[in-house]
Amino acid sequence: MKKLFGTDGIRGVANSYPMTPSMAMNIGIAVANYVKQDGYGAVIIGKDTRISGDMLESALAAGITSQGVDVLTVGVIPTPAVAFLLSNFNQININQDGLQQNSDKKDCDNQNEKSEIDSRIEKIGAGIVISASHNPWQDNGIKIFKKGGWKLSDDEEESIESMIFSLENQYQKNSTKISLTGRIYPIYDAKKRYCDFLKQGFYSTINKQLKLVVDCSNGASSVVASMLFGSSDYFDNFDATFIFNQPDGKNINEKCGSQHTETLSRKVLELGADIGLAFDGDADRLIAIDETGAVITGDRILAICASYAKSKGTLENNRVVSTVMSNIGLARTLESLGIEHLITGVGDREVLQKMIESGAVMGGEDSGHMIFSQYHTTGDGLLTALRLLEVMVGSCKPLSELASIMKVYPQILMNVEVDVSRPDFMAVASIADEIKAVESELGADGRVLVRYSGTQPLLRVMVEGPDHAKTKECCERICSKIREYKL
């Protein structure tokens, strides 16, 4: 059973276990040995804007290079950009500054060194993102992608955990054999490469003037979003206004972004914009605001995109994947469209696995993680934004009209702090009885889902019902029983 990895990587309060420099160095050593097992010799590292990112990046890089593996740093960049770069590693050329540290070397020596380095850089076996996604700035996390831009499997995470926990003996055994350490090379054009990727292919159909307001959450999209939506290098037809794009290391996700859309909604109305786009801290999520100021969450974005894709004949295998957290309205909408709906556990990795197994090319979560597997290996907020904009242009309809395809049933989600040991709450009779009582009352008009958070010591209680008041009352009853028992 995994002890470090949660739903999306390793996460915690920065400078506290497991997000300490010493643990980050151990993780770096473990990742380096993981990639060396398959003959790879380099790892990409990116990060969001948290003040602790520099500290963890340095520690990770130290651990990786201590094992003779090179590090390519790409700076502040969205999580899906690292996945993209990892899947296109053969196209990356390292910055030449790494070859100019010794000015006394002759040109021929530099060429020989460049050839040697190029042969090692071509073997990039993993990518690491230092981010805690939508969490507050005090937290941080480490997400790991393997070759090809895919997230690790459970078995691979357990293997890396095993290496970390047995590291003391492993390092003592191997350290004397590593005389040629790795080096660190900055990749300065990573953001441009990512934007070039996003612009490719079907995005060329976006040719209508649209007024956008973009909330960057003071996070990893702060520069990239401006490049993509605000520069004529990519699109001439977006009139974009950017908010919360001035990160200071501590304002990431602070009353902004995908978790806090109130300011974005007001700005959309103030400017008469066609759409508002809200990303989270590492920009792998998107929540939209329509022209009336209403919030459009992941389920409705998924319904909109699936309906449009089916109408254009591009929804391969006529299947869509979502999680148990999706609103009942999504299931009923997909049924009415004649689209098969597959349901999986929480987390975009679970969604992707079900997509691969079933041949579905579209899936996502209500939180805003959307996966379009015809174009990318992971959830990507900016990619989702472009897909949604394409539907608006292609259908010639405002977002509010597109979103009306799906009725949203009242859904209340509450969190209860619990012990990190995660006891079996269904073994507590008072809690189990209350959950069953609520389910019986709601019947076919609602549902209950109680689960542990994959990233924090929280028990998440979700209730859907026929009206807001009843749904909230049911959710509060269950939370009250959980608090009474003091899990």
The sign of the torsion formed by the CA atoms of 418, 420, 423, 426 equals: positive
Local confidence band at 97 (pLDDT 50, 70, 90 cut-offs): very low
Q: Do 391 and 415 fall into the same domain?
A: no
Is-contact 128 31, C-beta < 8 A?
yes
Which residue would you say has higher pLDDT here, 169 or 282?
Answer: 282
Q: Do 255 and 325 fall into the same domain?
A: yes
Instruction: Return d(Cα 226, Cα 448) in angstroms, integer.
Output: 41
Helix (H, G, I), strand (E, B) or coil at 278: strand
The per-residue b/e assignment along 324-354, b for 16 or more CB within 10 angstroms, e otherwise, is: ebbbbbbbebbeebebebbebebbbbbbbbb
The pLDDT of residue 108 is 40
Q: Do 428 and 311 fall into the same domain?
A: no
Residue 202, pLDDT > 90, answer no
Mean pLDDT of the chain: 89
Q: Do 371 and 437 fall into the same domain?
A: no
Question: Helices in 200-261 by DSSP H: which ranges?
Answer: 221-229
Instruction: Return d(Cα 387, Cα 391) in angstroms, integer.
Output: 6
Q: Which of 172, 137, 164 is nearest to 31 (CA)?
A: 164
- From the list 52, 66, 87, 133, the catalytic residue is 133
The pLDDT of residue 96 is 43
Q: Is residue 45 part of a domain?
A: yes
Residue 21, pLDDT > 80, answer yes
Q: Is residue 355 part of a domain?
A: yes
Q: How many CB atoms lie within 10 A of CB 107?
A: 7
pLDDT digits (tens, 9 = 90+) for 365-414: 999 999 999 999 999 999 999 999 999 999 999 999 999 999 999 989 99
The per-residue b/e assignment along 239-263, b for 16 or more CB within 10 angstroms, e otherwise, is: ebbbbbbebeeebbbeebbbbbbeb
Helix (H, G, I), strand (E, B) or coil at 93: coil
pLDDT digits (tens, 9 = 90+) for 127-155: 999 999 999 999 999 999 999 999 999 99
Local confidence band at 103 (pLDDT 50, 70, 90 cut-offs): very low
Instruction: Return d(Cα 339, Cα 291) in angstroms, integer.
Output: 28
Highest-scoring range by mean pLDDT, 2-11, 183-192, 201-210:
183-192
Q: Do 218 and 346 fall into the same domain?
A: yes
**Cα→Cα distances 99→103, 190, 403, Å:** 9, 19, 53
Q: How is the beta sheet containing 286-289 ordered, strand by strand?
A: 238-243, 210-215, 275-279, 286-289, 295-296
Cβ neighbors of 2 (< 8 A, separation 6 or more) are 154, 157, 158, 161
**Could you tell me the residue range of the domain that residue 56 belongs to?**
5-188
The pLDDT of residue 117 is 47
Q: Do 177 and 260 fall into the same domain?
A: no
Which residue would you say has higher pLDDT here, 202 or 351?
Answer: 351
Instruction: Return d(Cα 345, Cα 452) in angstroms, integer.
Output: 12
3-state SS of the chain: helix, strand, coil percent to 5? 45, 20, 35
- What angle separates helix 381-395 from helix 298-312, to the nearest 10 degrees? 50
Q: How many domains does the chain have?
A: 3
Task: Tell me the backbone φ, ψ of residue 116, rounded to 5 degrees.
Answer: -65, -40
The pLDDT of residue 102 is 34
Instruction: Return d(Cα 482, Cα 476) in angstroms, integer.
Output: 10
Q: Do 83 and 111 fall into the same domain?
A: yes
Percent share of the chain, pLDDT over 70: 89
Which residue would you say has higher pLDDT here, 257 or 114?
Answer: 257
**Cα→Cα distances 481→126, 295, 423, 457, 477, Å:** 44, 31, 15, 17, 7
The pLDDT of residue 397 is 96
The pLDDT of residue 114 is 47
Q: Which of 358, 465, 382, 368 is nearest to 81 (CA)?
A: 382
pLDDT digits (tens, 9 = 90+) for 232-280: 889 888 999 999 999 999 999 999 999 999 999 999 999 999 999 999 9
Q: Do 435 and 290 fall into the same domain?
A: no
Vertex 401: Cα angle to 396 and 406 (nearest 5):
130
CATH number for the domain spanning 463: value is 3.30.310.50
Q: Is residue 195 part of a domain?
A: no
Q: Do 386 and 363 fall into the same domain?
A: yes
The pLDDT of residue 352 is 95
Among 368, 403, 438, identify where a domain stops.
403
Residue type for position 102: N
Residue 487, pLDDT > 80, answer no
Span 65-90, average pLDDT? 92
Among 121, 153, 188, identify where a domain stops.
188
Indicate the Cα dihedral angle 229, 285, 355, 448, nearest 10°: -150
Task: Tell me the backbone φ, ψ of residue 235, rounded to 5 degrees.
Answer: -140, 130
Q: Do 440 and 336 fall into the same domain?
A: no
**Cα→Cα distances 36→120, 182, 187, 350, Å:** 12, 12, 22, 27
Local confidence band at 180 (pLDDT 50, 70, 90 cut-offs): confident
Q: Do 480 and 342 fall into the same domain?
A: no
The pLDDT of residue 137 is 97
The sign of the torsion formed by the CA atoms of 419, 457, 428, 154 equals: negative
Is-contact 414 472, C-beta < 8 A?
no
CATH number for the domain spanning 141: value is 3.40.120.10
**Cα→Cα distances 153→158, 159, 190, 350, 416, Å:** 9, 10, 26, 10, 29
Instruction: Return d(Cα 68, Cα 43) in angstroms, integer.
Output: 11
pLDDT digits (tens, 9 = 90+) for 301-360: 999 999 999 999 999 999 999 999 899 899 999 999 999 999 999 888 999 999 999 999
Q: Do 331 and 222 fall into the same domain?
A: yes
Residue type for position 421: S
Local confidence band at 99 (pLDDT 50, 70, 90 cut-offs): very low
Instruction: Respond yes or no: is residue 232 known to be catalytic.
Output: no
pLDDT digits (tens, 9 = 90+) for 25-48: 999 999 999 999 999 999 999 999
The pLDDT of residue 175 is 52
Q: How many CB atoms lie within 10 A of CB 365?
A: 26
Local confidence band at 204 (pLDDT 50, 70, 90 cut-offs): low
The pLDDT of residue 414 is 95
Span 6-27, average pLDDT? 94
Cβ neighbors of 337 (< 8 A, separation 6 or more) are 306, 307, 310
pLDDT digits (tens, 9 = 90+) for 421-468: 888 899 999 999 999 999 999 988 889 999 988 767 889 999 999 899
The pLDDT of residue 317 is 97
Question: Helices in 216-297 by DSSP H: which ranges?
Answer: 221-229, 262-271
